[in-house]
Structure 1
């Protein structure tokens, strides 16, 4: 399958397109959750999975979590499971878990966690504590490269999986 050609007009976009402006990722967790809950389940899965893969492809998980899009991380994990990409969903789950027991929906709260992580790593580098830095690295969740590979390969790749899910779950596409 030629993923570059499919990217121009993915079929799944017909499912999420009508909802694109009806679900805000820019105005905080409470509004997002309320609007997201109003969407059909298949739309929600595709909407969240689309946003996450788009952001991570563009700038990695760091960009995803530091931007407003990070509000939908738990929904994106469920979306990837729904479209048949459980290994990608596991990477997302590991990333979410690194924020602690309660995932921060608000962008400022996620930024605080990310900044604290950066300070710890920078302190370890400055002090030359390479052993602690290596241990810290082993404690970090799988990163961008692992996820990018899964986006290309798992279940035929993201575009194929998302299109297949849309065809199977959107009666307007049948």
Structure 2
């Protein structure tokens, strides 16, 4: 089983460009395991495409708090902590609205460290996600 098997059924159900309330209510309809995989998948996908700055600068940044939890549940504790560190750059409470994040630039060391952890911690995201899916399906 691939982690994607637990994400695909919900892929079109949850939109990152919705309001925070709508996003949260739709995400809550998914099984918890799928929530963790959905949010971490989106995060790694954005980072692989254009970096952590792209993730936060796009609507996908709405799911950062849930992705912190998701990475922790996948056993990627340092990745989770580094994402939480990056979120603090945007202020507390973390702004779910992308327009509040779009003009803020992350320090390069956070960008680099997160990308490195995403690919290496506990075998990297894909191995951790598949392992988590197998264990929890």
The equivalences for 1:28-47 within 5 A come to: 28-47=19-38
The equivalences for 1:46-65 within 5 A come to: 46-65=37-56
1:154 correspondence with 2:121: yes
Contact 1:91 1:142 in 2 (8 A): no
TM-score in terms of structure 2 length: 0.93
1:106 Cα deviation (Å)?
1.0
Structure 1 residues 41 and 142 mapped into 2: Cα distance closer, same or farther (>3 Å)? farther
Number of aligned residue pairs: give it.
Answer: 137
More helix by share: 1
The higher-RCO structure (CA 8 Å, 6+ apart) is 2
TM-score in terms of structure 1 length: 0.74
Unaligned runs of 5+ residues in structure 2 are: none
Larger Rg over CA atoms: 1
SS class of match (1:25) = coil
1:72 correspondence with 2:39: no
Unaligned runs of 5+ residues in structure 1 are: 1-9, 119-139
